[in-house]
Amino acid sequence: MSKPIVQATGSKIYLTWEDDGIKMVVRKISDKSTTGLSGEVLIEYLPSKIMGTNLGNHLMIRKINLTSQQSLNTIIKALKEMTDDFFDINWPRIMEQVQGWQL
């Protein structure tokens, strides 16, 4: 199972899954008792993943509640719809790793 390379700079967390060709930036992180842990997540392909295709690197940017399984399932479904025609990416595993990371 591929694990992300994680780097933190200031209030941003950078996660890279080299084997999957995916990178994420999590920023604007907040942890409130009323809404749980949330952050703005930018998801992109690594340039090496899309080399030789007509795809751009940007996949999505969304505010995500990282403690809500329903929120994560919605994101996973959208990502699968965007990428399944081109690549076999295990989005449930990736989002579980994001959720489990100590942001």
pLDDT reported for residue 102: 52
Taking only the tens place, the pLDDT of each residue in 27-44 is: 988 877 776 788 999 999
- Three-state DSSP at 80 gives helix
Between CA 43 and CA 98 the distance in angstroms is 12
User: Do residues 60 and 82 make contact, with C-beta atoms less than 8 angstroms apart?
Assistant: yes
pLDDT reported for residue 1: 60
| Residue 77 phi, psi (nearest 5) | -60, -45
pLDDT of residue 62 exceeding 90: yes
Provide the mean pLDDT of the chain.
90
CB atoms within 10 A of CB 72: 19
* Residues 6+ away with beta carbon under 8 Å from 20: 2, 49, 89, 90, 94
